[in-house]
Structure 1
Amino acid sequence: MKKKKIIAALIIVTAAVIANVFLAFRIYDKLSMYVNIFLCLVTDTLGVYCLSNIETLFRVPLDIYRSRDMFWDLVKNDFQARFVGSIFGVVWAFINPVITLLLYWFVFQIGLRAGDVGDYPFILFLMSGLIPWFYVQEALNGGASSLLEYSYLVKKMVFNVGILPVLKVASALFVHAFFLGALIVIACMYGIGIDLYIFQIFYYIFCSAFFILGLSYFTAACTAFFKDMTQVINIVLMIGTWITPIMWNAENTLPPMMHKIFRLNPFYYIVDGFRDVILFKKWFWDKPVWTTYFWIVAIVVYIGGVKFFNRLKVHFPDVL
């Protein structure tokens, strides 16, 4: 255990050093210098916070590694169980997103003629925003209801309930991977070829899964005591569909200050990142301030969510 803590501490310190170097070499003017100094201080503070919560930060990955065979069996069974008894089976997992995508495309491109996104085809702009958002919706809804759905496992004292939110976040990746593949194929059909930027897609998938997992721990624990939490999440996701933004180009529409306010939404970073991969051809280190900001928020949410979940989990068998 001591050896694992030392390795984990080295990982955290290395990440903090890389973040500081990353910001230091991205100073363009006096204002950005002050912003970067502030972010370096925040990053160092976050590093100290991570070191003080090192067991919380690495507990989930270690739990999954120890029970990896059982975990992947549960992930596959979870994906298949949603469609047991239906005629078309897993096809339903793809029909709803496709219909939603076509409806949005028709309304904005054909009906409202509001598809001006510069030199890029609107369908690609729309898909590169909607596809990560579909994953956010499915994974977050699944994570929030994971304890309710697997209440029979929660009541077994030998079962590690901490892997249930991870189970839902991982299960949602099957459909997400399919649509990302379709997006890349369609981009190639429009003449936007595959290049080195495409490898960033794994980075942004990890960003999505990590941030959603932190939220899922919090929402799953809340849902166990407050069943209406799932309805609250649906409302928040509905609002998030329009303020992220997904169907419209915020950079070309909003004033600069308002645009920065919108970018405080961590999901904006994820959606914008997928567009950087497919359309804009930018590396994530080309926006150091927003990359640092996202990871600060994501790590704080993750650690806070896991601690909140672990504090309440002793009560789960009694309330489910």
Structure 2
Amino acid sequence: MQKVRILMKLIKNLLSSRKLIWSLSKNDFKTKYAGSYLGIIWAFVQPVITILVYWFVFQVGFRSSQPAQYPYVLVLVCGIIPWFFFADALNGGSNALLEYNYLVKKIVFNIDILPVIKVLSAMFVHVFFVVFTLILAACYGYYPTIYTLQIIYYSFCTFAFVLGLVYLTSAVTVFFRDITQIISIILQVGIWMTPIMWDIAIIPARLQWIFRINPIYYIVNGYREAILVGRGFWHNGLWTLYFWAVTIIMFALGSGVFRRLKIHFADVL
């Protein structure tokens, strides 16, 4: 019950600070690329180049890995867009307390909102790529349907899961700076272990559960079903319950660790 009260108090605290969070998130997004000639354009250039490289390698070099039912470029983009959001939010959020250390040292500032600011900042780029994906899908004849609205749901899924994770990693990073390098390695491996560039159907059915228990797979698959397949998340009832169970546990764990350690943040930083 104590953990539930802590979690509810955190959520209430975040909601009461929503205007400040929104303002700081927009400022964080703008200042991230301040000083460069192209500015925020760089936020979109790297993901686009990454998509083009993966598309060329798997479309030209490994034709056998293409799912036959849908154009490979759409399968790739629908899967990699939520991954970009997850990776960007995790990288940025894990360093939130280090980057905003001058705010952490202010006694009157509510540092609980700092991880949220970084995750919400990553959301701005994600919205652009969602629109890009929908336009690309329409060019191939896959027009938006009522199921496409599920992108909002799956975006919220990503937001909730990565926020819980970021509360944990940002708190630990203050005391163990090497965690950022560990996260980079995990993300490099994770993009290949998650069925993004390849179809999970190539894995024997008895082993597919190993990849499905990855919460990000639920999101990646959800984007594809929302845009290409036209299938509701309620059809994946058990996996939906599993995802939210993991997310709630992660959020409770992350917020609990953050709350316990935050009294030491200012001293360490």
- 1:22 alignment counterpart: none
**In structure 1, which of residues 232, 236, 241 is the aligned counterpart of residue 191 of structure 2?**
241
The two structures, once aligned, show a CA RMSD in angstroms of 1.1
Residues 161-215 of structure 1: per-residue CA shift (max 9 Å, x gap):
1111111111100000000001001111111111100111111001000000010
CA positional deviation for 1:101 = 0.3
Letter in 2 for 1:201: I
Distance in 2 separating the partners of 1:261 and 1:111: 27
Shift in Å at residue 127 of structure 1?
A: 0.1
Matched to 1:279, the amino acid is: L
Q: Which amino acid aligns with 1:227?
A: R
In the TM superposition, 1:20-35 aligns within 5 A as: none
Give the paired residue count.
269
Pair 1:289 & 2:242 matched = no
- Which residues of structure 2 form unaligned runs of 5+? none
C-alpha contact (below 8 Å) 1:60/1:163 kept by paired residues: no
Larger Rg: 1
1:265-304 maps to which residues of 2 (within 5 A)?
A: 265-304=214-253
- The TM-score with structure 2 as length reference comes to 0.97
Higher relative contact order (CA 8 A, sep 6+): 2
Is 2:198 the partner of 1:222? no
Identity across matched positions, percent: 49
Instruction: Give 1:57 deviation, angstroms.
Output: 2.2
Q: Matched residue of 2:63: which SS?
A: coil
Specify the alignment match of 2:63 in structure 1: 113
Q: In the TM superposition, what whole-angstrom CA distance separates every residue of 1:206-258 from its partner, at most 9, and x where no partner exists?
A: 100000001001100110001111000000111110111210001x2011121
User: What is the Cα deviation at residue 262 of structure 1?
Assistant: 1.0
Residue matched to 2:154: 204
Tell me what 1:41 maps to.
none
Contact 2:58/2:66 (<8 A) preserved = no
Conserved 8 A contact 2:44-2:125: yes
Q: Matched residues in 2 for 1:66 and 1:261: separation?
A: 40
**Letter of the structure 1 residue corresponding to residue 63 of structure 2:** R
2:38 matched to 1:88? yes
Contact 1:139 1:168 in 2 (8 A): yes
**Structure 1 residue runs of 4+, over 3 Å off?**
none
- Counterpart in the other structure of 2:143: 193
1:75 equivalent in alignment to 2:62: no
Match of 2:11 among 25, 43, 61: 61
Q: Distance in 2 between matches of 1:303 and 1:209?
A: 15
Alignment partner of 2:164: what SS?
Answer: helix
Whole-Å Cα distance in 1 between the matches of residues 10 and 60 of structure 2? 46
Structure 2 counterpart of 1:147, from 97, 101, 105: 97
The one-letter code sitting in structure 2 at the alignment partner of 1:241 is I
TM-score (norm 1): 0.82
Which letter maps to 1:296? A
